[in-house]
Structure 1
Amino acid sequence: MLLAAYPLRAQQTYVVDDFSPGYFGKIYIQDTAEVFSPGWVAIYDKKTKKEVVKIESEELALSLHNGKVQSNIQEVPYGEQSLIISEDFNFDGRPDLAIEDGQNSCYHGPSFQIYLDLPTGLKHSQAFTDLAQDYCGMFQVDAKTKRLYTSTKSGCCWHQDSEFIIRNGEPFLVRQVEMDMMRFPFQTTTTTTWSGTRMVQTTSQELYLEDESTRVVCSFQVAGNGKQAVLFTTDNDLALYYALLRKDGQLEFTYPEFGAETDKFTIQVASGITKLRFANKSAQYTVQQASNGALSIQVKVGGRVVELREQPGTRKGSLQPLLKLKPENLSRI
């Protein structure tokens, strides 16, 4: 009964001989009943049968296929990744080796030590190893473009993708895209690109309003310039925001700004006209809805007033829901 109730624990050594004409491997798993087990991975020269590399680990994750170990499985970033991966990482025409050393990449994912197959034999490369340690699992190789790709993330709302070329025999970053939605529903995308002489950084911001916790109160396209003005609430109506989007959809202006969520709106109804007011250090804003429903925005900068009128036929919603909703940063006067 005890044998039936508990899985049998056994150590096992597997031979892997499907990844290289010059090398074969052995994988030792201390406890085959565990998902993560102590063990080691060793590489041997096929001609001499001598061990050339051995990596010990406290956490190896081995999957069997019909009872056998397979190399070169790369279900990046979160699927199965073989303990031995053979591919030409530095594009010199010789297949190199990635050997799992544990679960040190993002979210307790597999990490690897990289050995380049040089004319003198296998040589450890810290520069390539960093790409297989500091991101999510093993890096990806594009042999056609001779580029390497990594990805990493933090939770649902921060992602980073990087692209490398080989320069002087080592990975060299040429492009990195970072997408930050920590301040949902605003997404900030920072792109860093190698120009040939230096890294050039650009930043853009977008607005995502499809989430069920976000409500668009009203919006309209600004006559004459194609921009879009949007009033919306987040966190199930707990906070009110105003945003102005450029014609290409990129965020031009938002109130409150990040870090200033305590900034307030006021709303007032007089003589059939509804006015929503807010201000920052640069200007005073009044979103106005006339008795016929038409929306406009007055922006006062110093002694100058600019009026943004709606493009006919583009208005959606109205200010009226704000008379009933109770965002924490809105007060009625």
Structure 2
Amino acid sequence: MSAAMAASTYAFETFSPDYSAQLTLDVASRSERDLTSENIGVITVFNQDGQPVITHSVDQLALPSDLSTPLHTNVLQIPYGEQSALIYQDLNLDGRKDFALQQGWYSCYGGPSFSIYLAGEDGSFSYNEAYSALASQYCGMFKVDAQQRALFTMTKSGCCWHKFDVYRAETQAPVLAESTVVIPVGMTFARYTRTTYSDGKNPSTALFYLMDDFAPPDDTPQTVLTFRLQKSPEKQVVVYISDERVDYALINADTQRVEFSAELAANRLLDWQSDEHKQDSGPIFLEQSARFVYRPQALSFQFGKTRYTIVDEPQRVGVDVQQGQQSFFLRGDVTSRNGSLTRLKQATVSNLKFN
């Protein structure tokens, strides 16, 4: 095969008045099946004078089936959408646009990986190892937020472990500022363990959120009763059934953050020092179950020395809290009520007793 026949050249669409780019594909390496399989070649970036300023080797590249039009540029649908082989934008937020050029499919789950070429003051471009690591060791390309001066990355393991890292954009190397690990807890919750990095200190906090959006359709919690608290309308009481168990949760209605849950409390997951709370490698199963007692217009459970009773009367809703000889009533907004405790009469649950 002659040299002329051994390579094919494809232009990238216009992305800058100062630069152009082309992909030279080694035809001999192309799969005989189609053009979307693995390919080997070189991406070359040219200046206005037609001189190459970057010559970048490509190990693997997926090409569109239609090569009659120029190759796309600056497509960045994070995390799982299309990401073009050439991205031209300010990646380290120093005021100069840089290049991210796809090098292969080496990020998580065979996603696209990129090499980063940072622009210098003299107009040259230099490969940067630290930024390239950020664009190849996570799931695809990182996201740049100029307003926050931050870079956002994501990686995952299977269905049930996600990690989101936030980096500060510095000129030559990104600096890790925050890391958040998200894992499912039971069928209903997601736990966000957030670690911040500053001055050699790495404090961690954990927050729980309802995760019905992430649950498979058959596992989506069944709502029994919800209402907002009268004096704190942003707080919402939720009684629901999940995995054939009833639970009570107090959440922030706007953010879905869980402030308290009977099921989480029964499994010591609200205790930051517990062994269960330190697990971050995968899903946590709720092995213990809170015990509830139903009587007409009321649902009760015990946590430690405190007894909670959710009241659902025609003219009154709320939570009656009894601590020893002291008690107080968290009054709910009747107009915000949705559902009824009577739904529990037809439910099949394992942790509910009828009086």
Normalised to the residue count of structure 2, the TM-score between the two structures is 0.68
Distance 2:137 2:200 in 1: 26
Judging changes above 3 Å, is the alpha-carbon distance between structure 1 residues 51 and 288 closer, same or farther for their aligned structure 2 residues?
closer
Alignment correspondent of 1:27: 25
Q: Secondary structure at the match of 1:256?
A: helix
Distance 1:142 1:296 in 2: 43
Q: Secondary structure at the match of 2:169?
A: strand
Equivalent pairs, count:
317
Identity level (%) = 27
* Greater strand content: 1
Judging changes above 3 Å, is the alpha-carbon distance between structure 1 residues 82 and 310 closer, same or farther for their aligned structure 2 residues?
closer
TM-superposed deviation, 1:114? 1.7
Judging changes above 3 Å, is the alpha-carbon distance between structure 1 residues 156 and 293 closer, same or farther for their aligned structure 2 residues?
farther
Distance 2:147 2:331 in 1: 52
One-letter identity of the residue aligned with 2:258: L
Which deviations, in whole Å up to 9, do the C-alpha atoms of 1:185-205 show, x marking residues without a partner?
Answer: 434456666779977766554
* Conserved 8 A contact 1:265-1:276: no
Alignment correspondent of 1:41: 42
Alignment of 1:9-158 (within 5 A): 12-16=7-11, 21=19, 26-29=24-27, 30-31=29-30, 33-43=34-44, 53-57=55-59, 59-63=60-64, 66-70=67-71, 72-77=73-78, 78-92=80-94, 95-118=97-120, 119=122, 122-141=125-144, 147-152=150-155
Q: Secondary structure at the match of 1:167?
A: coil
* Deviating more after overlay: 73-82 vs 62-71: 62-71
* Deviating more after overlay: 305-314 vs 102-111: 305-314
Unaligned runs of 5+ in 1: 1-9
User: Does residue 1:328 correspond to 2:350, yes or no?
Assistant: yes
Which deviations, in whole Å up to 9, do the C-alpha atoms of 1:16-42 show, x marking residues without a partner?
Answer: 476664976533352251522141325
Alignment correspondent of 2:226: 219
Distance 2:310 2:50 in 1: 81
Judging changes above 3 Å, is the alpha-carbon distance between structure 1 residues 38 and 301 closer, same or farther for their aligned structure 2 residues?
same
* Deviating more after overlay: 279-288 vs 64-73: 64-73
Q: Secondary structure at the match of 2:133?
A: helix
Distance 1:145 1:305 in 2: 46
Alignment of 1:144-293 (within 5 A): 147-152=150-155, 162-174=165-177, 183-188=186-191, 204-207=207-210, 213-226=220-233, 227-235=235-243, 238-245=244-251, 250-257=257-264, 259-269=285-295, 273=296, 275-288=298-311
TM-superposed deviation, 1:126? 1.7
TM-superposed deviation, 1:287? 3.4
Structure number with greater Rg is 1
TM-superposed deviation, 1:293? 7.3
Unaligned runs of 5+ in 2: 270-284
One-letter identity of the residue aligned with 1:254: S
Distance 1:250 1:192 in 2: 18
Normalised to the residue count of structure 1, the TM-score between the two structures is 0.71
Q: Secondary structure at the match of 2:132?
A: helix
Alignment correspondent of 2:281: none
